[in-house]
Amino acid sequence: MPGHDLSYASGVRALLVVNPQATATTPAGRDVLAHALASEVKLDVVETDYRGHAADAAARSVVEGYDLVVAHGGDGTVNEVVNGVLRGGADRPLPMLGVVPGGSANVFAGALGLPRDPVEATYRLLQSVEHGTSRRVGLGRVASAGGSEDHDRWFTFNAGVGWDADVVAGVEEQRAKGRVAGPVLYARTALASYFSQRRHEPALTVQIPGEPVFEDMRLAFVSNTDPWTYLGDKPLRLNPSTSFDGDLGLFALHGLGLPTVLRYLTHLLVTDGNPKGENLLRRDDVAYIRVTSQEPVNLQVDGDLLGTCTEVEFTSAPGVLTVAV
């Protein structure tokens, strides 16, 4: 799938998509970013004001022949822009994606090796535009059914059903009440969700091509890269061999007993990854994963709650996106 050539920055048409509600965005920062980009490219700016606005704007950028779409916001904004760019499929010329982080975690930017600081990321983006440097990355895709609503959605760094999706649901509920998302809120919500999970029987069945069916799983996390996420500045590495250049990683647990959870939490927080154990089902490079549940469970992609489902398929899509680096 060919993309746009940014070798001559003065002729580049760029769309800046800004989420003004993102945790680390400010009016002054947005103005500086827009001014800096406008000095190098033919720039249009969209500030989002409804859920899905970033995706709609990115989809229009493909139709209107933009060369570059820059997402300024958190991982949710990046996810929307990516889904908008790919709304019509990946078999036609697509704009390059630029990322200037403005959220609390900024996992996609960090996994790409981009600065998570907005000012540094803006400079890096300008250098990329000037020199035409880019990277092809693979994505993951989820197709869910049997819950509140069926979904077909791309994800850039992780997705999951079970505990992580319950945490996302809890954090979104707190943010709706005015709480600011951050490591403390996520940690408190994770603890509350853990005790809620302990009151339920194992519910998930995991299928991987060429392997026996794995039943009675308590959670299933799927990674498109490493790290899975960040806790502040600390990368949490569930599948350290998974990357944007390969297929998906799977981290699933049979049990959520306190010794099991403490063991893996300790490993994640004090080591560089490579978790192992008898309660753990882990694969670092698989093209397809299917998870089913008798009862509806929460599903999240890139930290965004999609709703509930009883069946979800995770599929790897190598090299479908070009990112400015």
Q: Is the same domain home to 90 and 175?
A: no
The tokens describing 92, both together, are 């036609």
Q: Are 287 and 140 in contact (CB under 8 A)?
A: no
Give me the phi and psi of 113, to 5 degrees please: 85, 15
- For residue 159, the cross-strand partners are 222, 301
Q: From CA 217, how far away is CA 111, in angstroms rounded?
A: 28
Q: Which amino acid is at 11?
A: G
pLDDT digits (tens, 9 = 90+) for 117-139: 888 999 999 999 999 899 999 99
pLDDT digits (tens, 9 = 90+) for 216-235: 998 999 999 999 988 888 88
Q: Is the same domain home to 106 and 184?
A: no
Domain boundary among 132, 152, 172: 132
Q: Between the CA of residue 269 and those of 1, 20, 37, 89, what are the distances in Å? A: 40, 32, 38, 39
Question: What is the rounded (10 degree) CA torsion for 189, 193, 195, 198?
Answer: -160
How many Cβ atoms are within 10 Å of 194's Cβ, its own excluded?
16
Q: Which carries the bigger pLDDT value, residue 204 or residue 190?
A: 204
Domain boundary among 132, 159, 190: 132
Q: Is the same domain home to 169 and 220?
A: yes
Confidence band of 3 (pLDDT split at 50, 70, 90): low
Q: Which carries the bigger pLDDT value, residue 163 or residue 111?
A: 111
pLDDT at 212 over 90: yes
pLDDT at 259 over 80: no
- For residue 142, the cross-strand partners are 153, 314
Structural domain that includes position 257: 139-319
Q: Is the same domain home to 123 and 151?
A: no
pLDDT at 2 over 60: no
pLDDT at 1 over 60: no
Q: Quote the pLDDT of residue 186.
A: 74
- For residue 204, the cross-strand partners are 217, 293
Q: Is the same domain home to 250 and 144?
A: yes
Q: Quote the pLDDT of residue 302.
A: 95
Q: Is the same domain home to 57 and 109?
A: yes
220 Cβ contact partners less than 8 Å away, ≥ 6 residues apart: 160, 161, 162, 204, 206, 250, 251, 252, 289, 291
325 in a structural domain: no
Q: Are 146 and 303 in contact (CB under 8 A)?
A: no
Q: Quote the pLDDT of residue 322.
A: 97
Q: Is the same domain home to 120 and 156?
A: no
Q: Is the same domain home to 98 and 219?
A: no
Q: Is the same domain home to 70 and 154?
A: no
Which of the listed ranges 17-26, 63-72, 85-94, 201-210 does the model predict with the highest average pLDDT? Answer: 63-72
- Among 297, 320, 318, 321, residue whose Cα is nearest residue 308: 297
Q: Quote the pLDDT of residue 165.
A: 87
Q: Quote the pLDDT of residue 213.
A: 97
195 in a structural domain: yes
CATH code of 21's domain: 3.40.50.10330
